[in-house]
Amino acid sequence: MLTWSEQFATGSGLVDTQHRMLIDKINELEKLLSGSSPAKSVYDGLLDFLGLYVTTHFKFEEQCMERAHCPAHEKNKQAHAAFLDVFGKFKERYQKEGANPELLKNLQTVASDWIKNHILTVDIQLKSCVK
């Protein structure tokens, strides 16, 4: 389970709120996987939400970095594109294989590790650029 803490702070309240939401959703996936196997529609809903939210959040955060002339802007954009690529490949497999617990666990682990590392190495660089 991932927990948001002050070390994740980016200097933007809105970006932090969005990160908290993403962390909540990834944790929700972890909870679903450790509980009594829910209907596939529950996973469908969660994954659709996650896909849409990630896309919207990435765009918003990229605009913040660009506006603040943050030196991490390009690196951030590239990292986002790489994550969307991984997520897209996962979605393709999900469409073929359905709610395969191994596949979903893999997504949860990858997404959880990725967001933690990404916030701590890239997103927090926004802090020194915003006033």
Cβ burial 35-68 (10 Å sphere, 16+ → b, else e): eeeeeeeebeebbeebeeebeebbeebbebbeeb
Token output for 77: 């954009």
Q: How far is the CB of 48 from Fe ion (least distance, A)?
A: 21
Binding mask 74-103 for Fe ion (x = CB under 5 A): --x---------------------------
Contact with Fe ion (CB under 5 A): which of 18, 43, 123, 125? 123
Binding status of residue 54 toward Fe ion by CB under 5 A: no
**What distance in Å separates the CA atoms of residue 100 and residue 94, rounded to the nearest whole number?**
7
Q: Which of residues 55-74 bind Fe ion (CB under 5 A)?
A: 61
CB 124 within 8 A of CB 10: yes
Residue with Cβ nearer Fe ion (32 or 70): 70
Site residues for Fe ion per CB under 5 A = 61, 76, 123
